[in-house]
């Protein structure tokens, strides 16, 4: 069964971030010899023995956590082998800290990946609406709520109005501040926001009321999201879409670097862990796609993950993980108990130098009013994608020999296909899936007639 490629080319325009941002007035200066770069294939899982674990010497008292996420940041960054120096500050940060080389988001767009970070479980298990820009009910338990209940100060600074339109993402945050002057456009990311994001973070983290005790602070940088423009403050890599994206990443990296440099001088720095990641990746022609959402290919779900914990040794971790592991990690770093609903596991043992047994990771797109369901499982070198929910065409890839997922092995490897199909089914059978609500028709069939809270689900 062939997929409708025209759908893949047109649907990404429905995501926020598709109208042109205002270009800076200054004309950027071109480097003498800009690096010529073709679209890079996703980074293959790195197979090498983990360093011999050293005795952990880091302090064990509860830490603050600073979570910094970047929209649409691909995994093929300079510290992972990308030849352009598009993120010098993050590259330096990666050398000094723990890098998870085989990390994935749970999904391929913001409205399903960010809730997975906040809840420690896939979006399909949450009480949500059936819209593409899903809203999440307060019947879901997000870890910032549990932190607030324990007296931890929780702060959020956001730069796109999806985060502030009654979507429920602010549950548990004592401070939820939006970059001023932005407007909502469901087809566009119209604004340059990194400078104002930096200003707001410094403002709130300079307030003694917010940092005199334990705190959790999160901000999401949006500028690398399409539309891509050229910033005069960053190198001119060229005029292709990937060139402009690289310029946007460099521009955002400057502001991340400013925030980290400022934070290093604060009295709370040595009691603060920093986690840097992305909500999803970005496509530049791979699999006939541009931008993100709608599929679960590696260029869309592989994302960076860098973790700084005071006293932890720099190292590289090749064990695969996903965003459902971030909430348990944050709670352990902060000295808090894991929530009962978490489906992931804490990364703290690996941050401290221990080895972990690789486990299958699951990826998903919940059906909504714009896109049909997708499910995937990764185990070892193998990945199976199902283009549907419980049924539909499937593609099988060997990520070691084919990291770009160009050769479907479903027909030539029937035994492996059967094994991976059983694994996908068994992994998703463990998840307490919830039908979305709202009454809208779901793409691919069905209606969003699910419950808003657990007691209604039991009826």
CATH of 60-351, one of 3.90.1170.50, 3.90.280.10, 3.60.15.10, 3.40.720.10: 3.40.720.10
Among candidates 230, 275, 246, 68, which has minimal Cα distance to 159? 68
Distance (Å, whole) CA 367 – CA 449: 13
pLDDT (0 to 100) of residue 164: 82
Distance (Å, whole) CA 136 – CA 127: 6
CB 25 within 8 A of CB 58: no
The residues of the chain scoring below 50 in pLDDT are 1-42, 44-49, 52-56
The CA-atom distances, in angstroms, between 243 and each of 53, 109, 191, 230, 444 are 40, 22, 19, 9, 35
How would you classify residue 5: left for phi > 0, otherwise alpha for psi between -120 and 50, otherwise beta?
alpha
Digit-coded pLDDT (tens) for 181-221? 877 776 667 788 899 999 999 999 999 999 999 999 999 99
Place of tokens 């779900």: 301
Cα Rg of the chain, angstroms: 21
CB 221 within 8 A of CB 72: no
pLDDT (0 to 100) of residue 351: 97
Among candidates 320, 312, 317, 313, which has minimal Cα distance to 345? 320
Digit-coded pLDDT (tens) for 84-121? 999 999 999 999 999 999 999 999 999 999 999 999 99
What CATH number should be reported for the domain whose range is 363-457? 3.30.1120.10
Domain ranges of the chain: 60-351, 363-457
Instruction: Supply the angle between the helices 241-264 and 194-206 in degrees, to the nearest 10.
Output: 20
């Amino acid at each position: 069964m062939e997929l409708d490629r025209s759908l893949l080319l047109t649907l990404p325009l429905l995501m926020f971030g598709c109208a042109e941002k205002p270009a800076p007035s200054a004309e950027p200066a071109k480097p003498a010899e800009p690096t010529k770069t073709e679209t890079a294939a996703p980074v293959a899982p790195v197979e090498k023995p983990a360093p011999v674990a050293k005795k952990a010497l880091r302090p064990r008292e509860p830490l603050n956590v600073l979570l910094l996420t970047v929209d649409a940041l691909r995994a093929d960054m300079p510290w992972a082998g990308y030849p352009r120096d598009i993120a010098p500050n993050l590259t330096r940060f990666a050398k000094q800290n723990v890098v998870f080389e085989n990390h994935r988001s749970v999904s391929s767009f913001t409205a399903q990946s960010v809730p997975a970070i906040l809840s420690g479980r896939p979006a399909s298990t949450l009480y949500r609406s059936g819209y593409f820009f899903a809203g999440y009910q307060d019947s879901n338990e997000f870890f910032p709520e549990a932190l607030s209940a324990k007296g931890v100060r929780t702060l959020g600074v956001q730069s796109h109005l999806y985060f502030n339109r009654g979507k429920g993402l602010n549950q548990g945050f004592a401070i939820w501040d939006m970059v001023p002057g932005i407007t909502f456009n469901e087809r566009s990311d119209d604004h340059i926001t990194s400078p104002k994001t930096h200003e707001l973070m410094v403002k709130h983290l300079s307030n003694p009321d917010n940092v005199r005790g334990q705190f959790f602070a999160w901000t999401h940088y949006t500028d690398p999201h399409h539309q891509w423009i050229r910033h005069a403050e960053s190198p001119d890599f060229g005029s292709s879409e990937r060139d402009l994206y690289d310029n946007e990443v460099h521009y955002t990296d400057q502001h991340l670097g400013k925030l980290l440099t400022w934070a290093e001088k604060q009295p709370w720095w040595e009691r603060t862990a920093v986690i840097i990641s992305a909500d999803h990746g970005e496509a530049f022609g791979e699999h006939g796609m541009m931008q993100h959402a709608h599929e679960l290919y590696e260029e869309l779900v592989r994302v960076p993950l860098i973790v700084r914990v005071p006293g932890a040794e720099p190292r590289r971790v090749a064990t695969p993980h996903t965003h459902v592991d971030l909430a348990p990690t944050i709670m352990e770093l902060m000295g808090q108990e894991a929530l009962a609903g978490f489906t992931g596991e804490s990364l703290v043992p690996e941050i401290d130098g221990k080895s972990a047994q690789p486990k299958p990771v699951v990826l998903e797109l919940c059906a909504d009013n714009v896109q049909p369901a997708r499910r995937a499982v990764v185990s070892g070198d193998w990945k199976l994608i199902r283009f549907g929910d419980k049924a539909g065409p499937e593609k099988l890839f060997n990520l070691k020999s084919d990291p770009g997922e160009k050769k479907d092995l479903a027909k030539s490897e029937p035994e492996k296909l059967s094994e991976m199909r059983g694994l996908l089914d068994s992994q998703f059978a463990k998840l307490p899936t919830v039908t979305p609500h709202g009454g809208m028709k779901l793409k691919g069939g069905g209606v969003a007639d699910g419950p808003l809270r657990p007691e209604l689900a039991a009826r």
